[in-house]
Amino acid sequence: MSMRFSFSLPLMLALLSCQDEGGDAGDAAGEGRCGPSEGVVAQVVDGDTIDLESGERVRYLMIDTPESTTEVECWGPEAKQANTELVEGQSVSLAYDVECEDDYGRLLAYVSRGETVINEVMVERGHACVLHIPPNGDAMVETYESLAYAAEMLDKGLWAACDPNPCQ
């Protein structure tokens, strides 16, 4: 018994420390490195921002959608509507990058429903432009740029509807 214990404790500690270094690998309480690792979307603010029932405001990483709140830009209302249909009232998971918050205190996250990353869907369907603010997204920028390029080639959403194009 004691032999087995002396073997497994260091192993457990090693596993735990790996998990800590894993960034947003959440612990048992559902906490990621920067904030909650899951939540329910109470309200969609616009195409790239949501409020969780737990109170956090979350700004989607790597994307920017046209405004639909204080001012209304081309495709702003459509982007908000698309985001609403995707996540409002839904359980989502959150993954973080290097910097946890923006200057407004909003959590910066990749937001997923099941295996679907909503940030990517918004670009893929032509509802969002790519917005890369390093060091966040350095590992993801090529993925997002190619999704935006495909949306542009296929005349999706804002790429066909807006002149001038809000992504340029």
Which residues of this protein are in contact with Ca ion, per CB under 5 A?
48, 64-65
Is residue 4 annotated as part of the catalytic site, yes or no?
A: no
Q: Burial letters for 73-89: b for 16+ Cβ neighbours within 10 Å, e otherwise?
A: ebbbebbbebbbebbee
For residue 124, indicate whether it is catalytic. Answer: no
Considering the complex, what minimum distance in angstroms separates the CB of residue 67 from Ca ion? 6
Cα distances (Å, whole numbers) of residue 26 to 4, 34, 35, 46, 72: 28, 10, 9, 27, 37
Residue among 19 and 43 whose Cβ is closer to Ca ion: 43
**Alpha-carbon span 117 to 122, nearest angstrom:** 9
Q: Catalytic: which of 56, 67, 78, 124? A: 67
- Residue among 33 and 75 whose Cβ is closer to Ca ion: 75
Which residue number, 24 or 129, has a Cβ lying nearer to Ca ion?
129
Task: Establish whether 59 is a catalytic residue.
Answer: yes
Q: Which residues are known to be catalytic?
A: 59, 67, 106
